[in-house]
Homo-oligomer: A and B are copies of this chain.
Amino acid sequence: VARCARENGTGLEEAARTARHAFYARTAHESRIAHVVLGHQADDQVETLLFRLLRGAGSRGLGSIAPRSTRGGNDFTYTLLRPLLGVWREEILGFLSARQLSFLHDASNTDLRFTRNRIRHVLLPELEKAVSRPVRESLWRTAEVLRAEDEFLASLENDAVREEWLCVKSLRALHLALQRRVVARWLRARGVPDVGFELVERVLELIRTVRIAKVNLPGAAHAIRRRGRIAWIPGNAPAHPG
């Protein structure tokens, strides 16, 4: 994991996540497993919401962890299930201790070098102190509301974007909220890494003003407006390094 993180220039946490998911996919495929059940808890949901919020995730990320998500490619899919997302860690520990069951403790969970652990052990208690009330339940509810809304909005994106290029007229007819989602999805489908708010807004300038007809994108690619369409012009360098 440490080597992967160095090679891909990502953080340790991100590399560990990638490695875990690669393991689920490989194991599911090899053993023909249709469902992988994970032990994420309500606390994980709340910490993920804060983690993503502080990284400036749009609503797509804020919905946090889905109780059910389907992965895989054309020939093989499997479903990740997280039945414990509505149960608090404390409740689970209480259940285990009442039945004198033992469990594995991952020592890395207390290492404050990791952002997630600082959120868990430092930030959440600070937040509760600042507003003088418990905040975990509030944050959990917010994550749940945003998750459903994100899912609904994503279903509307599907109707709006199917093309290699974007139609200026159709895009203009959409609400700003959907314009942003459609452009972000289009950029991701073209392989643009880390599609963020600023980049999406820059591409949207193409439909807002006639003065701009070309927008630079990462990897020397660009988006141009021509004959009522927004087209993708690939750069010389691959947009995905490696």
Contact = CB atoms under 8 A, between A and B. Distances in A.
A54, A123, A146: which has the most chain B beta carbons within 10 Å? A54
Given A54-B131, A115-B131, A130-B122, A62 B197 contact: no
A interface, over-half SS: helix
A228 B51 CA distance: 43
User: How many residues of A sit at the interface, in one of the four size bands?
Assistant: 35 or more
A146 B59 contact: yes
A177 B148 contact: yes
A162 interface: no
Contacts of A175: 148, 151-152, 155
Interface of A: 53-59, 62, 115, 118-119, 122-123, 126-127, 130-132, 135, 137-139, 141-142, 144-146, 148-149, 151-153, 155, 175-178, 180, 196-198
- The 7 A-B pairs with the shortest beta carbon distances in the complex, nearest first, are A56-B138, A152-B177, A152-B175, A149-B177, A141-B197, A148-B177, A58-B145
